[in-house]
Amino acid sequence: MFRDYMMLALKSLRRRGIRSWLTMLGIIIGIAAVISLISLGDGLREAITGEFSDLGNDKLVVENIGAGFGPPGSTAPERLSSRDLRIIEDTPGVKIAIPRLIRLASVISDDERKFSYIASIPEDKASADVIFETVGVDVAEGKFIDAGQRGSVILGQDIRKGTFDKDLRLGESIEIQGKNFKIAGILEKTSSFQINGAILMAEADIEEILNIDDEIDIILVQVSDENKIIDTADAIERRMRKDRNEKKGEEDFSVKTPLQSFDAVNTVLMIIQVIFFGIASISLIIGGIGIANTMYTSVLERTKEIGVMKAIGARNHDILLIFIIESALLGLVGGIIGVAFGIALAFGITYIVGLFLGSLMLKAQISFLVIILTLSFAIGVGIAAGVLPAFQASRLKPVEALRK
C-alpha cells in the first residue's frame, strides 16, 4: 500500500515538472548553505587549531598589545624590552624565557621585490632548540641553521614556492633589507600559515638589517610545571603590572596560554557559524513556504481527482498520506541536491583558497552526522509545510469535489 502511495506522489511531482523544481529551490539553497558553512567552519577551526598546537601545554606568550594586523607583537606601538625579559626570567615557575623578533622586511629575488615576515632564531642553543621544538616541523631540504649562525636563512614553503615568480632553491641567495643571505634550509609544509610564510634567521642579523636596539616583539615562556601554567601566567602579569604601574584590566601587554588564545578564536568562529546558520535558515523557511504554496495549489488543481479517489473507496487518511508523502519528497529531493551542492561548494571554496592563499591549509570537514541531520530537517520542513494542505484535501467530500 505504501508503495502505491509513493508511486502516486512521484507521478504527481513529475507531472508538475518545473514547478516542483522551483518549489525545492529554497530547500536546496538553504541546505547547501548549511552544509558548506558548517564544513568550512569545522575546517577553519582545525586549521586554527593547528596554529595554536605549535605551542605546547608548557608554554605561554607575552607580548605588548598590537595596533594592527600581523603576527604576535609585530604591530605593537611600543615593544617589550630587556627589562621585561628580566622580570619574566625572575618570576617563580618560569623555566626559560626566550625573546623573539618578528618583523616585516623587504625581500628581493632576481630583481623581484616582495615583503615577508622574518622571525629570529635565538643566539644560544638551548633557546634555539626550544624554538625549533615549538615550530614542530622538520626541514624538507637542507638543515636548520646553528644558534648564532649569521648570513643564512630558513624559508617556509610558501616563501620558497608561490611568493616569487621563480621558485627559490637551496643554496641560492636572496636579498633581505639590502643584505644577501644564503638559503640553508626549507621547512616542510605545515598547518601553520605563519610558519609557511616566514623566513627564519639569526637574531643578530635581524637587529643589524633593521637597526633594532633593545626591542622585543614577543617573549616565549616555558614553565617548569605545565599544571601550574595559569598560576605562572598570573604571576608574570602581576610583576609586569607593578613594574609598569598599571591597574588590572588596563594593561598594555598580554600574557596568554595557547588554550586561552584558542578559546577566544573558537568563540568568534562559533558566533560566525551561528549567524550564517541563521541566514541559511531563512532560505529553509522560504523553501517551506514554497512547498506549502505548491501543495495548496495542488489541492485546488486536483479536486476532481480527489473526488474520484474517494468515490472508489479512498479514505481520508489515504488522501492525507498521499499529499504528505508528496511534500516530504519535495523536502527530501531538495535536501539531497542541497547536500551535494553544499559539499561541492565547500570543496570549491577550499580549492580557491588554496590557489590564492596557499599558506592557509583550509580543508572542508564533511560530517555525516550533519548531513543526516540536515536531510532530516529538510524532510521535516517538507512534511510540516504539507500537513495543512494535506488535511484540507482529506476533508473534501466526494460529491462536492466531483462537482468542481
Distances (CA, A) of 291 to 61, 302, 322, 330: 55, 16, 15, 7
The rounded distance, in Å, linking the Cα atoms of 46 and 398 is 60
Helix, strand and coil percent figures for the chain, each rounded to 5: 55, 15, 25
- Do both 210 and 239 map to the same domain? yes
- Do both 249 and 268 map to the same domain? no
Q: In which band, very low, low, confident or very high, does the pLDDT at 57 lie, cut at 50, 70 and 90?
A: confident
Domain-ending residue, one of 257, 273, 299: 257
- Do both 63 and 162 map to the same domain? yes
Q: In which band, very low, low, confident or very high, does the pLDDT at 227 lie, cut at 50, 70 and 90?
A: confident
89 or 134, higher pLDDT: 89
Residue 197 lies in domain? 58-257
Scan for cell 617589550, then name that residue: 80
Q: Is pLDDT above 50 for 68?
A: no
| Residue 179: predicted pLDDT | 93
Most trustworthy range by pLDDT among 41-50, 83-92, 141-150: 83-92
Out of 16-25, 44-53, 93-102, 191-200, pick the least confident.
Answer: 44-53
| Residue 356: predicted pLDDT | 62
Q: Which of 217, 253, 221, 252 is nearest to 61 (CA)?
A: 221
Out of 92-101, 229-238, 292-301, pick the least confident.
Answer: 292-301
Kindly report the average pLDDT of the chain as a whole number.
78
117 or 77, higher pLDDT: 117
- Do both 233 and 351 map to the same domain? no
- Do both 288 and 274 map to the same domain? yes
- Do both 342 and 366 map to the same domain? yes
pTM of the complete model:
0.58
Domain-ending residue, one of 257, 275, 309: 257
Domain-ending residue, one of 257, 286, 304: 257
295 or 238, higher pLDDT: 238
Give tens-digit pLDDT for 19-36.
677 777 778 888 888 888
Q: How many domains does the chain have?
A: 2
The rounded distance, in Å, linking the Cα atoms of 370 and 350 is 19
Q: Is pLDDT above 90 for 209?
A: yes
- Do both 29 and 116 map to the same domain? no
- Do both 212 and 79 map to the same domain? yes
- Do both 148 and 233 map to the same domain? yes
- Do both 341 and 216 map to the same domain? no
| Residue 402: predicted pLDDT | 56
| Residue 400: predicted pLDDT | 61
Most trustworthy range by pLDDT among 205-219, 280-294, 341-355, 377-391: 205-219
User: How many Cβ atoms are within 10 Å of 262's Cβ, its own excluded?
Assistant: 18
- Do both 247 and 278 map to the same domain? no
Q: In which band, very low, low, confident or very high, does the pLDDT at 289 lie, cut at 50, 70 and 90?
A: confident
- Do both 176 and 251 map to the same domain? yes
